[in-house]
Amino acid sequence: MATITEAKIIITSPGRNFVTLKITTSDGVTGLGDATLNGRELAVASYLEDHVLPLLTGRDPDRIEDMWQYLYKGAYWRRGPVTMTAIAAVDTALWDIKGKVAGMPVYDLLGGRARDGALVYGHASGGTVPELLDDVARFRDLGYRAIRAQAAVPGSPGSYGVRHGAVYEPAATSLPEEQLWSTEAYLDFAPDCLAAVRERFGFGFHLLHDVHHRLTPTEAGRLGRRLEDLRLFWMEDPSPAELQESFRQIRQATTTPIAVGEVFNSIWDCQQLITERLIDYIRASVVHAGGITHLRRIFNLAELYQVRTGSHGATDLSPVSLSAAVHLDVTVPNFGIQEYMAHAPVTHEVFHTSYELRDGALHPSPAPGLGVEIDEQAAARFPYEPKYLPVSRRTDGSVHDW
């Protein structure tokens, strides 16, 4: 029996911060897991380094489910983003190893492909509506069949999702930037802005929009109703979702499809949302929801309730978890869409990937495992840089959801 002989954490910042777990077995097989928690990276690194790595040496890398239960139940303290991201890293690395040992891509270990590739959506944005329209045109020219549209709201400088450089990167400052937010200005602006996209480009592609947790259920219901004629693929994170039952109010107010879950860590965060069909798409990710093992459980529950998948895939999810997501996406019957924000070219100096974007879909490679390798020498050239996500404040100075 092979055993785990080495496990180490690689912290690197090629374009942005990433925390990666690398596990090596006695047979010399290596596996990678993403452990990046944007703005709180070192907490997960310490959880792994100080409390998990000492438990791994000598264990059987084949027993993925047992490892998951051991780390989850064995900690006594359950759930939460730090714990679940750390478990995800171990889980993902073990699936990578199992695939390499079997000589199979992870999607074959998961039952084989149910589709050729995973439809993705790209992120169009603009400081003004005309700029947004130009960006949508660019994504259409690149062959994207689904596009998220965000624009700066006049009078609300803290608008979410507007790219300033080549890559959208909200965690950009060494202390949190405080941004001004006006819900009133947003609600006046968003319907006209999204209507302008449909007016110029028509309905021959999927249009998505991210509210980023900034509305109350009443406001979200009103927005969803105003957007109905635009036939959005989804309205994302209309309200913070700690109170799962509050989504019933949004649901009753509008037929605009609802997507939620990028900040969820476990199946219990979305149990009611799924089983009462309060959402249409579940956005939990491999890295923040306990790895392939636990995300598959969430997706399987969702399948029973006709809820489809739409995994989070912003650039703070490393190429390792993006690849893991795509392997899972192509196997589950209830796949909906995969978010894809291409990483900065410098990120690929460290992470060598093999998935491919073709015809608006990501295709995992048939290479054994997850098909991602890390260049540790390159990683050492990009030391960690403390970076925080912004904080939103309303016009009266009080803190709002970012």
Let me know if 242 is exposed, middle or buried by CB neighbors in 10 A (0-12, 13-18, 19+).
exposed
Q: Encoding tokens for residue 359?
A: 């015809």
**Residue 214, contacted partner among Mg ion, ligand KDG, none, CB below 5-8 A by kind:** none
Site for Mg ion in 245-274 (CB under 5 A): 262
Closer residue to ligand KDG in complex, CB, 316/329: 316
Question: Please, are residues 159 and 186 in contact by the beta-carbon 8 Å criterion?
Answer: yes
**Residue 49, contacted partner among ligand KDG, Mg ion, none, CB below 5-8 A by kind:** none
Under the binding rule (CB under 5 A), the answer on residue 339 touching Mg ion is: no
d(CA 132, CA 228): 21
Site for ligand KDG in 299-358 (CB under 6 A): 312, 314, 316, 339
Query: Residue 54: which residues within 8 A CB-CB, separation 6 or more?
Result: none
d(CA 236, CA 231): 14
Closer residue to ligand KDG in complex, CB, 49/262: 262
For the CA atoms of 323, 324, 326, 331, the dihedral, rounded to the nearest 10 degrees, stands at 150
Q: Encoding tokens for residue 11?
A: 């912290």
- Within 10 angstroms of residue 274's Cβ, the number of other Cβ atoms is 22
CB of 329 to ligand KDG, least distance (A): 16
Q: Which residue is nearest to Mg ion (CB)?
A: 210
Closer residue to ligand KDG in complex, CB, 310/371: 310
Under the binding rule (CB under 6 A), the answer on residue 41 touching ligand KDG is: no
Question: 294: closest CA among 79, 107, 75?
Answer: 79
CB of 265 to Mg ion, least distance (A): 15
d(CA 21, CA 33): 5
Query: What number of chain residues touch Mg ion (CB under 5 A)?
Result: 2
Strands of the 178-181 sheet, one edge to the other:
178-181, 391-394, 399-400
CB of 250 to Mg ion, least distance (A): 16
Closer residue to ligand KDG in complex, CB, 196/389: 389
Under the binding rule (CB under 6 A), the answer on residue 169 touching ligand KDG is: no
d(CA 112, CA 330): 8
CB of 38 to ligand KDG, least distance (A): 4
Site for ligand KDG in 238-267 (CB under 6 A): 262
- Residues taking part in catalysis: 160, 212
Among 210, 219, 269, 280, binds ligand KDG (CB under 6 A): 210
d(CA 316, CA 151): 21
Closer residue to Mg ion in complex, CB, 210/280: 210
**C-alpha triplet 95, 96, 100: angle, nearest 5°:** 115
d(CA 198, CA 231): 9
Under the binding rule (CB under 6 A), the answer on residue 170 touching ligand KDG is: yes
Under the binding rule (CB under 6 A), the answer on residue 280 touching ligand KDG is: no
d(CA 238, CA 219): 9
Closer residue to ligand KDG in complex, CB, 91/210: 210
Among 41, 135, 210, 316, binds Mg ion (CB under 5 A): 210
Query: What number of chain residues touch ligand KDG (CB under 6 A)?
Result: 10
Q: Encoding tokens for residue 328?
A: 């899972």
Closer residue to ligand KDG in complex, CB, 61/170: 170
**Residue 41, contacted partner among Mg ion, ligand KDG, none, CB below 5-8 A by kind:** none
Question: Please, are residues 247 and 215 in contact by the beta-carbon 8 Å criterion?
Answer: no
Q: Identify the residue whose tokens are 């199992």.
A: 98
Q: Where on the chain is the footprint of ligand KDG (CB under 6 A)?
A: 38, 170, 210, 212, 262, 312, 314, 316, 339, 389
Q: Where on the chain is the footprint of Mg ion (CB under 5 A)?
A: 210, 262
